[in-house]
Structures are given as C-alpha cells and as structure tokens.
Amino acid sequence: MATAKPLYDRLSKNITAYPPEEAREMAFMLLDHYFGFRKTDVLTDKPLPPNRTEPDWFKILERLNRQEPIQHVIGTTIFCGLEFEVSPDVLIPRPETEDLVRLIMHDFADRTDDVPIVDIGTGSGCIAITLARFLPQSVVTGWDVSDEALTLAQRNADHLNADVIFEIQDILNVPADFSRRFDCVVSNPPYVTRSEAADMDRNVLDYEPDLALFVEDNDPLVFYKAVADFCVRHLTKDGSCYVEINERFGEATRQVFADRGFTKIQVYKDIHGKDRSIRATF
C-alpha cells in the first residue's frame, strides 16, 4: 500500500532548486493540495487514497526546479485562511499583506453602518475579497488596470462568495468628475524600483507581472502620491488610508501623506523589523 512518507521524501529530495528546508515545505504543500494531507498525515505515514488520480510528478518537479512559483504550479495560494486562484497575471499574495488586512479589519470591526472601501490595484482580489468576507458591513470596490487581473479576481470572488465590485481604473488617471467617497482606501501598489531587480529571485522576476511590481527609480513614490492625492478628494472626514510600502522608503512615504495634510500617520514594521505599511488619517 502506497503511503505519504515515502512520496514526501521523494518529492523533497528531488526539489533541487531550493534549500532543503524550502524543498520540504514545498513537498508538504504538494501533498496538501493533491491529497488534502496535513503535516501530521505525512509524519504518521497515512495511506494515500486508493482511487487517487496521480499527478504528473515529473512535470511538477521540472517546473519547480525552473523556479516557477509553487503557487503557479498548483494554481492556488492561501491568504487569511482563504484559498485564492493565482496566475502569472497577478502578484502572489504575501504574508505581509495579510498584516495590512488584519489592521483594517481591527480598525473597522465595531462599525455597524456601511463602510465603503476601495482597493487600488486589486490584482487577485485578495485584499478586497477578504475584507468583503470578514467585514460584513463593508461595501468593497476593487480597481485594477489589467483586464486579466480583474477576470481572475472576479473568479475568486465568485468562488469565495464575496460581494465585490471590480472596475478597470487607473489611479494615475482618475476621471476629474469622479465623485464617490470612501471610508477606507487601501493599496498595495507597485513599489520595487528597477535597480532592486538585480537582487530579486528568479521565481519573482521570471514569473510575476512587471506591471504590478516595478516603478522607475526616478519616481519610486509615484503611486503613493496618486493614492494620497485621491484621498484628499475622496476619503471621508473620519476615513483612513492603508498602503503597503517599500522598506527603503518608509520615511519618504510618510512624508508624502504629511505633505497632503494627513495628521495621524503610523508606519508599521513587519516581523523582520522593516517598514512595511502605513495607516494615514486626516
């Protein structure tokens, strides 16, 4: 009878493009995705399902060893406990962004009236959909410039039974007659400078969309300026803006909001002690 532990050992041994610890985590992820096995199932050597459809492990290992992200290989990732479809058209949601979402949920948890929210650069829809799911009073809109991203985000919303309005919209070119207002503006915009690309891993550079990653070195805060300008016109009096940031520009990004009249600006650090997000209110 085939069991989990020998398969896990074989997979982790043959994922050679990553350090052993990462390879072992990927092997666990594969067994979870294809068989629903948790780590305890693997460690106790649970029998594999007798009528299973066996994946093409050779092709899977080949893709992983080309450093294609495992989230693309299996087609999904977990964000705030929810399973999202991902593809090369969107950024893979990251744990740091979960912290930003949890901050928003904490801040608006006690609201009983409607909370209009806009997620600028929604990508997979992970921020917008999670807020719609866990803040029942929220009325969420997700913006992106990519038709492909919005199509995927809508599939995620449908799959997760989340009520989100997705719209194609460029924060750098919001129409002058736009009049809606929001209690919460949130964005995880492109913030990696082109000069930082040399230090990035292939699994990001080769497989995630440039459009969602990079800004030019001569204006690295272009999207934060646009978001802050948008908030001046469209954030409600007691509303808040939340953005994920480049660790190199924490103080400079804080100053962008200060220059536009925000008086309460908090810079939050990630688990590594690096500047990672900002909450700003007037």
Q: Are residues 50 and 136 in the same domain?
A: no
**Over the stretch 208-266, which tens digit does the pLDDT of each residue have?**
999 999 999 999 999 999 999 999 999 999 999 999 999 999 999 999 999 999 999 99
Q: Are residues 198 and 277 in the same domain?
A: yes
Q: Are residues 51 and 116 in the same domain?
A: no
Q: Are residues 58 and 191 in the same domain?
A: no
Whether 36 maps to a domain, the answer reads yes
Cβ(117)–Cβ(186) under 8 Å?
yes
Q: Are residues 108 and 50 in the same domain?
A: no
State how far the Cα of 156 lies from the Cα of 187, in Å rounded to an integer: 18
Threshold 0.85, pTM exceeds: yes
Whether 77 maps to a domain, the answer reads no
Q: Any bridge partners for residue 140, and if so which?
A: 117, 164
Average pLDDT, the chain: 96
Q: Are residues 188 and 56 in the same domain?
A: no
Q: Are residues 93 and 195 in the same domain?
A: yes
Whether 74 maps to a domain, the answer reads no
Whether 80 maps to a domain, the answer reads no
The pLDDT value given to residue 172 = 98
The pLDDT value given to residue 247 = 97
State how far the Cα of 247 lies from the Cα of 154, in Å rounded to an integer: 31
Query: What's the pLDDT band for 274 if we cut at 50, 70, 90?
Result: very high
State how far the Cα of 217 lies from the Cα of 193, in Å rounded to an integer: 5
Cβ(8)–Cβ(42) under 8 Å?
yes
Q: Are residues 147 and 57 in the same domain?
A: no
Whether 170 maps to a domain, the answer reads yes
Both tokens of residue 73? 């290989």
Q: Are residues 195 and 275 in the same domain?
A: yes
Whether 234 maps to a domain, the answer reads yes
State how far the Cα of 41 lies from the Cα of 27, in Å rounded to an integer: 13
Q: Domain of 176: which CATH number?
A: 3.40.50.150
pLDDT of 66 over the 90 cut:
yes
State how far the Cα of 245 lies from the Cα of 126, in Å rounded to an integer: 17
Q: Are residues 57 and 111 in the same domain?
A: no
If you average pLDDT over residues 257-278, what whole number do you get? 97
Cβ(239)–Cβ(220) under 8 Å?
no
Name residue, tokens 């919303």.
157
**Over the stretch 30-52, which tens digit does the pLDDT of each residue have?**
999 999 999 999 999 999 999 88
Q: Are residues 135 and 217 in the same domain?
A: yes
Domain's final residue, options 34, 66, 98? 66
**What is the count of structural domains for the chain?**
2
pLDDT of 120 over the 90 cut:
yes
Question: Pick the residue with more confidence: 1 or 213?
Answer: 213
Domain membership of residue 38 as a residue range: 4-66
**Over the stretch 165-202, which tens digit does the pLDDT of each residue have?**
999 999 999 999 999 999 999 999 999 999 998 888 88
Whether 81 maps to a domain, the answer reads no
The pLDDT value given to residue 108 = 97
Q: Are residues 33 and 137 in the same domain?
A: no
The pLDDT value given to residue 251 = 97
The pLDDT value given to residue 52 = 86
Whether 75 maps to a domain, the answer reads no
The pLDDT value given to residue 31 = 97
